[in-house]
Amino acid sequence: MILQEEFKKSGYKDILVGDIASEYEINLEDIFDLEQKPEELLCIFISEQRDDLFFLLNGDLMEIDSLCDRWDDRIRVFMIINGKSEEIHKLKYNIVQLIVYSKEIPDKSREGNLLISRKILIKGDMTDKNQIVIDDDEVIELPFHMIPTDAFAPDVEQKKRLSQLLPEDENLLALMKKQQKRVNRKEKEGVLDKSFKVQDYEKIKEWLKR
């Protein structure tokens, strides 16, 4: 699936496009020099409720720790400059660095560092940086991603196969119910024998042979 499309389907907008930043009362100059946009910055998505901000970053261009530190510094400055803005204050604890890598798996220990911003690292194909391809296993890392309800639907074929394994004999089914069942207790030569009745045993034996 396409990463950017997942954001759009969830109501997010890229404030790097057109005048969207102004509509959301965000001055991009507080984040970077407009005449020299950072190469690693791919998108900045803001939620429809204006309470989440995702910096989509290319993790292949520099070492992960350096990338995280660099953008934590930028975000810190941005928050200080806009400290009195109510709109920006709503974002204070909901800013995420979403770092996409396509090469070897980097050290993900920075994901546990919530200083200034949260960090999430996911793998994706960035051949076309405007349409980053990610696997289903990666998209579930997105906090806003909703798993389709049909993913929890029972497997019809599996149910059918399981039902075929169950015995058809009602008396035998009764033996399998989860309830306390008294069994015959016979002591023979000092050994306590716990067993089914002979007829019950024969039923189970016949069923297992099928």
Sign of the C-alpha dihedral computed for residues 8, 9, 11 and 12 taken in this order: negative
Q: Based on the number of CB atoms within 10 Å of its own CB, is 16 exposed (0-12), middle (13-18) or buried (19 or more)?
A: middle
d(CA 46, CA 149): 26
Whether residues 134 and 61 fall in one domain: yes
Q: Which residues make beta-bridge pairs with 194? A: 185
Whether residues 48 and 133 fall in one domain: yes
pLDDT reading at 119 higher than 60:
yes
pLDDT reading at 200 higher than 70:
no
pTM: 0.69
Instruction: State the pairing for strand pair 53-58/95-101.
Output: parallel
pLDDT reading at 190 higher than 80:
no
Q: Which residue has the higher pLDDT, 131 or 169?
A: 131
Sign of the C-alpha dihedral computed for residues 187, 190, 192 and 193 taken in this order: negative
Whether residues 20 and 94 fall in one domain: yes
Whether residues 103 and 197 fall in one domain: no
Whether residues 98 and 30 fall in one domain: yes
